[in-house]
């Protein structure tokens, strides 16, 4: 027989029998599992085949809003950023930008839901007020905002599509015709 035949035969015999696994605790406290015994290792015997459940395993809902805790709540039909609109240009020298949200049905505050505002991928605010958010002193440039609905544990259960906007702020560096103040 060739070397490959012995290797395949060894694998078949190894998979058909119960396997012994040895568990030991290293001096640093880490747990090590091995197929070779070490002094003081605990022997763990694994079955040939995985156990079959006595009853069917219940399926997990892909929609997190359909848990028993939600008392009949079916989810949000519409979560939309109504302003700024996607690709809108905003001219605001103070850097103040209002983010207005449309949400149907209304926010489920009885379930401790909150709105979260994500700016450029980072959560910057949370609120139970569905009127929207006010960003202050935002840097000029292109920004992306998104709204998420968070449950009582802070997990996002629904969200809006992102909206990108462009904020223009006046700069004396970009307008050389404006007189500069002297610092005498």
Q: Where do the domains of the chain lie, and which CATH numbers do they carry? A: 3-46 (no CATH), 75-168 (2.60.40.10)
Instruction: Quick: pLDDT tens for 3-17.
Output: 444 444 444 444 444
CA distances from 55 to 10, 51, 67 (A): 35, 12, 21
Instruction: Quick: pLDDT tens for 56-114.
Output: 444 333 344 444 454 577 888 999 999 999 999 999 999 999 999 999 998 888 899 99
DSSP letter string, 119-162: ETTEEEEEES-TTEEEE-SPPSEEEEEEEEEE-TTS-EEEEPPP
Of 94, 92, 98, nearest to 137 by C-alpha is 94
Instruction: Quick: pLDDT tens for 159-179.
Output: 999 999 999 988 766 655 655
Q: How far apart are the first and last CA of the chain?
A: 97
31 beta partners: 25
Tokens encoding 82: 């109504």
């Amino acid at each position: 027989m060739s070397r490959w035949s012995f290797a395949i035969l060894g694998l078949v015999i190894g998979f058909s029998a119960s396997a012994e696994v040895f568990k030991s605790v290293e001096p640093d406290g880490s747990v090590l599992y091995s197929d070779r015994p070490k002094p003081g290792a605990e022997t763990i015997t694994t079955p040939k085949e995985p156990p079959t459940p006595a009853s069917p395993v219940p399926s997990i809902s892909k929609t997190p809003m359909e848990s028993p805790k939600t008392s009949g709540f079916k989810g949000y039909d519409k979560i939309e950023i109504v302003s700024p609109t996607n690709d809108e240009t905003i001219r605001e020298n103070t850097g103040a930008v209002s983010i207005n949200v449309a949400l149907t049905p209304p926010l489920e505050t009885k379930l401790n839901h909150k709105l979260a505002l994500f700016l450029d991928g980072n959560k910057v605010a949370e609120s139970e007020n569905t009127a929207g958010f006010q960003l202050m002193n935002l840097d000029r440039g292109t920004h992306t905002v998104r709204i998420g609905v968070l449950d009582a544990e802070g997990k996002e259960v629904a969200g809006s599509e992102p909206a990108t906007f462009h904020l223009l702020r006046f700069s004396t560096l970009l307008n050389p015709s404006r007189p500069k103040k002297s610092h005498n």
